Amino acid sequence: MANGSSSLHVSLVSADAEVWTGDASLVVAKTVEGEIGFMAGHEPVLAILAEGQVRITQTDGTKVLANAQDGFLSMEGDVLTIVAGNAALIA
């Protein structure tokens, strides 16, 4: 990998709150063009978020699930930002 990092820094925010932030080894999100997975070293992406689940695998292997819709995601370097009009963790 270009920068030697093995994790992503992920921020999932909704219109009114930060939903989840932390480091992850894998994030899968649904865009209007289909599901896309992100790992460290992924090329830059800007995509429109579709309604669906965001699946985050933390660096320790535990999984975080959230519903998100009406927004976009941006991958730059090893930083993935997901901005949704509505987003909430799934208990």
Q: What is the pLDDT of residues 62-90, one digit of tens each?
A: 999 999 999 999 999 999 999 999 999 99
Question: Rounded to the nearest 5 degrees, what angle is found at the Cα of 77, between the Cα atoms of 47 and 58?
Answer: 85
What pLDDT score does 2 carry? 45
59/36 Cα distance (integer angstroms) = 19
pTM: 0.92
- Position 91 scores a pLDDT of 75
